[in-house]
Chain A
Amino acid sequence: MTWTWFHRLGSPPYVYALAARLTPWFAWPAALLIVSGLYGGLVLAPPDYQQGDGFRIIYVHAPSAWMSLMVYTIMALAAAIGLIWRIKVAHAVAASCAPIGASFTFAALVTGALWGEPMWGTYWEWDPRLTSELILLFLYLGYMGLRAAVEDTQRADRASAVLAVVGVVNVPIIHYSVTWWNSLHQAPSVMRLGKPQMPASMLLPLLLMLLGFTLFFGAVLLVRLRGEVLDRERSASWVRQALHV
């Protein structure tokens, strides 16, 4: 077994071409899974006996919330790899992750607020999960803000990588402290999203959506990565050849 495939992952032209080849393999299954998940969740699944049709927003909310955390972890992992082994492509991956993760976080917040209106009677409840999501959004904004503020790309890469690693150490601490804070101030009467005792007809579409969102993230990441690599290598000769200019 040779390791050349691994070393080639550090080369921007190779990654640029690989990302183009891989994108449809993520995009089509993602589209298929999301469409079937939405059909299953919005049409086939029975209404919840307590929440009626309102619960159906879970099919967008829960996968978004799940992705917001997963993308942050992937971003921090890529940033750490870039920081430790000085791999430029890893930094490009981290940079491409941030706006996607922030969008998922924003989607989770908006759907959470919309779901809260019929359930709690208010758009915003200081629920520990929603509060953690809000803090996560600020972490993403800080990461992107630092990246935007440092002009030199390499310095921006490394500084934001330190921030991402510090952030990923802090995310569980923040989450548990917020949960602890909330349990002091609120009776635990709030209904929980994603109860495990869901019937299969409700759970299956949710799993399809989770998988679909993950693959969707992969597809968007690959597209963004190509843009990021092009931007970073704009003065390289292979870019001119690849773009036929």
Chain B
Amino acid sequence: MSGPGIPAARGLSRAAVAPVAGHVAAGAAASALDAARLVLLRDLQLAFRRRAQLVQPLAFFAMVTMLFPLAISPELARLREIAPGVLWVAALLASLLALEFLFRDDAYDGTLEQYALSGQSLTSLMFAKTAAHWLLTGLPLAVMAPVAALSLGAPASAIAGIVISVAVGSVALSLIGSIGAALTLGIKRSGALLSLLTLPLSLPVLIFGARATQLAISGGALLAPLELLGALAVLGVTLAPLAAAAAVRISLE
């Protein structure tokens, strides 16, 4: 893939980074790890050229969190009780919102096709893309979650537990979401369908994550739900890129 193949509308920022995709395609000699690293760096680089898009899911997360005090009550005692649920529902919705960016541009300008034809394992490239997605959305959410939690009356002692649970849980969310995003590639107005596909599969993450956050706020031992979250993330790492790669191939047919 080279410069002239890119529609002018995609703008300079993608064109300038596009040769990285070319390296992946040309590099039959490159190892799968090198290719995955290149894809990861390319996605990060592209994202930092468009910082506004990075901030949107975070702003969305903050806004959803803000809705609850306004809709229910400003009493901190009551808010503290619902804080874990609010945080996780907001995180789930924010990560769902961010999923649209995961493959859309790459599918639009043909980069995904080049990945599929590159001879590299599409599974590892999908894993790299999802990892970049997590670094760009999951990790910032984890950093921001304690701020939201504090505003809902959580004690400062809960911060570490909340960061860890959101960080681990969002790994699983990104991976599950990558399957849904890959399946809905090429479908017009796929937002509602994407949430219908992704949310039921994300419920275990919501349950364990909210439980871990609840325990962090009340000062209990949160290792058990964290371990379950970790198990979901590991299961996702092993299986989700396979399914996402299969789904991308199907949508390219």
Contacts and interface: CB of A to CB of B under 8 A. Distances in A.
The CB with the most chain B CB atoms within 10 A, among A159, A163, A165, A184, is that of: A159
A135 B207 contact: no
Nearest to A157: B250
A212 interface: no
B253 A165 contact: no
Given A162-B247, A166-B179, A135 B253 contact: no
Contact of A159 (B183, B196, B235): B183
Contacts of B31: none
B79 interface: no
Contacts of A150: 186-187
B193 A166 contact: no
A158 interface: yes
Q: Mostly helix, strand, loop or mixed at chain B's interface?
A: helix
A170 interface: yes
B30 to A, nearest CB: 28
A113 to B, nearest CB: 20
Interface in B195-238: 196-197, 199-201, 203-204, 207-208, 211, 228, 232, 235
A154 B253 contact: yes
Interface string A158-179: 1100110111011001100110
B246 interface: yes
Contact of A180 (B190, B207, B232): B207
B201 A146 contact: no
Nearest to A175: B204
B239 interface: yes
Interface of B: 179, 183-184, 186-187, 190, 193, 196-197, 199-201, 203-204, 207-208, 211, 228, 232, 235, 239, 243, 246-247, 250-251, 253
The CB with the most chain B CB atoms within 10 A, among A83, A149, A158, A165, is that of: A149
A2 to B, nearest CB: 34
A126 interface: no
A5 to B, nearest CB: 30
Q: Mostly helix, strand, loop or mixed at chain A's interface?
A: helix
Nearest to B197: A142
A155 interface: yes
A184 to B, nearest CB: 7
B180 to A, nearest CB: 8
Contacts of A139: 200
Contacts of B193: 142, 145-146, 149
Given A138-B196, A138-B200, A162 B250 contact: yes
Nearest to A139: B200
Contacts of B207: 177-178, 180-181
A159 B186 CA distance: 12
9 contacts: A138-B199, A138-B200, A142-B196, A146-B183, A154-B253, A159-B247, A163-B179, A174-B204, A181-B207
Contacts of B211: 181, 184
Given A145-B196, A159-B250, A181-B207, 17 more contacts: A138-B196, A139-B200, A141-B196, A142-B196, A142-B197, A159-B183, A159-B251, A162-B179, A163-B179, A166-B201, A173-B204, A173-B232, A173-B235, A174-B201, A174-B204, A177-B207, A181-B211
B200 to A, nearest CB: 4
A167 B180 CA distance: 11
Contacts of B253: 154-155, 158
A181 B211 CA distance: 8
Contacts of B201: 166-167, 170, 174
Contact of A146 (B184, B228, B239, B243): B184
A26 to B, nearest CB: 31
A165 B199 CA distance: 16
A173 B204 CA distance: 7
Contacts of B190: 149
B200 A142 contact: yes
Nearest to A165: B243
A155 B197 CA distance: 17
Nearest to B208: A177
Contacts of B199: 138
B250 A158 contact: yes
Contacts of B250: 155, 158-159, 162
Contacts of A155: 250-251, 253
Contact of A177 (B183, B203, B239, B247): B203
Contacts of A146: 183-184, 193, 197
